[in-house]
């Protein structure tokens, strides 16, 4: 089984409920178990956009799913939570956003899926959450 780190974010509606739905849905995936979850933190929208603040959290999963299958499940969970993707507006507000941040030690660059996530170096909150979930590994 592979250790995978998935970031959750929400800035529309009942943000806490959307994160809870995301955690529960990820934990219920086949051949997958949720190992731990970081604290929830509130952050400003990326790029200084005029949007509501986000709640962010990261979870650590163990899974036998391959990265592409996990991505499809993440997108399905987002849709179930009411997310509508606007391909012309990548940074729109969302009920739930699920990003695969790290998938074991895999380095991958395919259309629609880059691992580790290319945003990791620029998102301090992801770095804090990842450190929180991996501090027992040392």
Collapsing DSSP states into helix, strand and coil, what is residue 60?
strand
* Six token digits for residue 114: 């880059």
The span from the CA of 99 to the CA of 108, in Å, is 14
Geometric angle at alpha carbon 78, from 69 and 10, rounded to 5°: 130
Active site residues: 83, 94, 97, 99
CA angle 125, 42, 39 (to 5 degrees): 65
| CA–CA gap between residue 94 and residue 136 (Å, rounded) | 32
């Amino acid at each position: 089984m592979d250790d995978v780190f998935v970031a959750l974010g929400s800035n529309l509606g009942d943000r806490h409920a959307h994160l809870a739905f995301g955690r529960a849905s990820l934990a219920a995936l086949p051949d997958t178990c949720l190992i731990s979850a970081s604290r929830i933190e509130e952050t400003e929208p990326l790029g200084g956009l005029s949007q509501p603040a986000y709640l962010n959290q990261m979870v650590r999963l163990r899974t036998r799913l391959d990265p592409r299958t996990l991505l499809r499940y993440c997108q399905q969970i987002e849709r179930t939570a009411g997310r509508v993707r606007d391909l012309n507006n990548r940074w729109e507000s969302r009920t739930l956003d699920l990003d695969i941040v790290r998938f074991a030690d895999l380095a991958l660059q395919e259309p629609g899926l880059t691992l580790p996530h290319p945003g990791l170096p620029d998102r301090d909150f992801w770095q804090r959450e990842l450190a929180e979930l991996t501090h027992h590994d040392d």
